[in-house]
Amino acid sequence: MNVYDGMRIASMLRGRGMTETDDVAAADLIVLNTCSVREKATNKVFSELGRIQKRKRPDALFGIVGCVARESGADAFRRIPELNFVLGPQSYHKLPEILDNPDSKLLNIDLSGLEKFDELNYSNLKPQTSNLSYIPIQEGCDHFCTYCIVPHTRGRELSRPFDDVMRDVHAAADTGAIEICFLGQNVNGYKFSLDNLIRETAKIDSIERIRFTSSYPTEMTDDLIALFGTEPKLLPFLNMPIQSGSPDVLTRMNRPYSLELYIDIVNKLLAARPDIQISSDFIVGFPGETDEDFEMTCDIARRIKYINSYSFKYSPRPHTPAAQFPNQIPENIKKVRLKILDEILTENNRAFNESCIGREMECLIEGPDKTGKHLLARTPYMQQVIIAANNLPPLQKIRITSANKCSLRGEIINLKS
Ligand code: SAH
Ligand code: SF4
């Protein structure tokens, strides 16, 4: 979601005639887009702002947007009086106001609902030309997991109207998108039927790949699961975080599903689409997590053979009940557990990547790598493939020639334009 927000901000400013630069000293405007899901990321924000302040031109405008901005509010101006703007995750569409009034201080941390989507629809943005288009369909979250700050920073759950989303999908297709990724904190909780949205999107000829992220386990409806078997454009990859493999920890996290239910959903997905790959997020060291609880998390990670997963050390966050729970786990234990789980997740990736050697897959070209000698592409399972080429049409049949734990290498089979 943050990557998407960053793209929208860049696109909005391009629409105002600005161009991007990596050079802080050359910039007229510096926007730090922030995340407050974990404490470490939050702490980095103010030190980074200090660094920017030293390097920027004296007349350049700078400020923060996103969840740390919402968290800090006016306090950010007290910490760094030179800041020009502080805009929350639902108010960054107001950023141009600072360009019109550079001498003012712009503060807006309202949860203004869907307003930003109305202002930042495709017709108001400089068209993107990427093969992949992220389209948000839902904002905020009502699940209130006991560790999570998102319901506080992004607010209550809201779904964008179906027609608004479809208008963005058509606009994305018109500007060259081949793949659509629907976004939401709780994307499958989309109120106006995610399966209908996927079916409608699949009717557009030029859209060849569809996916969505992140899914909440208990909101996976049978209709949505069935679609993995019947809609060939829906990619065989699903991000459905389990967070922990321990029933006790799940209860304390306020994640109200049993392991049996979760595994049942995975089995239904596999029955609908036998090659589907699942990815998860995990939290280790949640308050009260015992060695046995942690072992259950490792077991489920091995058993479901998740790929492309993320694991985090539990980070106590303001406004969340878990921060006050007893038996907070010491940092050194969290660190050891994270390392053990990461090894399992890496091994899953390596095993799946190696199983792909020799297979032919249709991949989406994402663009050149840093050297400019290779192209980076994505398989239908979201693995990265490196191809020795520098210019190819957006969808390519690729034969996988080698693999390691992070990526694949492949060669072109036949050109598809
Ligand atoms: N809505 C999604 C995830 C959104 S936040 C879901 O529920 O699956 C992204 C990830 O950050 C979460 O899945 C969780 O693993 C992690 N996360 C959230 N709060 C955290 C915290 N306090 N400490 C550590 N990780 C956290
Ligand atoms: Fe946070 Fe996801 Fe839980 Fe919502 S479902 S509270 S976003 S972890």
User: Which atom of ligand 2 sits closest to the CA of residue 281?
Assistant: 8
Average pLDDT value for residue range 170-185: 93
Question: Residues 6 or more apart from 81 whose CB is under 8 A from it?
Answer: none
Residue 415: its pLDDT value, please? 54
Residue 247: its pLDDT value, please? 98
Residue 117: its pLDDT value, please? 77
Q: What DSSP state is assigned to residue 32?
A: E
Q: Which one of 138, 141, 142 would you pick to mutate in the ligand 2 pocket, going by the greatest count of ligand atoms within 8 A of its CB? A: 141
Residue 124: its pLDDT value, please? 53
User: Which atom of ligand 2 sits closest to the CA of residue 141?
Assistant: 4
Q: How far is the CA of 68 from the centre of ligand 2 (A)?
A: 17
Ligand nearest to the CA of 318: 1
Residue 354: its pLDDT value, please? 98
Average pLDDT value for residue range 279-285: 98
User: Which atom of ligand 2 sits closest to the CA of residue 37?
Assistant: 1
Residue 185: its pLDDT value, please? 93
Measure CA 39 to chain center: 18
User: Which atom of ligand 2 sits closest to the CA of residue 151?
Assistant: 6
Question: Residues 6 or more apart from 41 whose CB is under 8 A from it?
Answer: 34, 35, 68
Indicate the helix (H) or strand (E) that contains 412.
strand 407-412
Residue 125: its pLDDT value, please? 55
CA 167/CA 122 separation, integer angstroms:
8
pLDDT grade for 12, boundaries at 50, 70 and 90: confident
Give the pairing type, strands 384-387 and 407-412. parallel
Indicate the helix (H) or strand (E) that contains 64.
strand 61-66
Average pLDDT value for residue range 310-335: 97
Q: How far is the CA of 407 from the centre of ligand 1 (A)?
A: 25
Phi, psi dihedral angles at 302 (to 5 degrees)? -75, -40
Contacts 24+ apart (CB under 8 A), 39-44: 39/315, 39/316, 39/317, 40/315, 41/68, 42/68, 42/71
Give 124-163 pLDDT, tens digit per residue: 555 455 799 999 999 999 999 999 999 999 899 999 999 9
List the structure tokens of 345.
């997740």
For the chain, the first-to-last Cα distance in angstroms comes to 30
Q: Is the CB of 41 under 6 A from ligand 1?
A: no
Q: Is the CB of 42 under 6 A from ligand 1?
A: no
CA 392/CA 397 separation, integer angstroms:
11
Indicate the helix (H) or strand (E) that contains 400.
strand 395-403
Question: What whole-number percentage of the chain has pLDDT above 70?
Answer: 96
Average pLDDT value for residue range 337-348: 98
List the structure tokens of 387.
């191809």
Measure CA 77 to chain center: 29
pLDDT grade for 16, boundaries at 50, 70 and 90: confident
Question: Residues 6 or more apart from 339 whose CB is under 8 A from it?
Answer: none
Q: How far is the CA of 217 from the centre of ligand 2 (A)?
A: 11
CA 135/CA 258 separation, integer angstroms:
31
pLDDT grade for 370, boundaries at 50, 70 and 90: confident
Average pLDDT value for residue range 98-113: 90
User: Are the C-beta atoms of residues 199 and 139 closer than 8 Å to each other?
Assistant: no
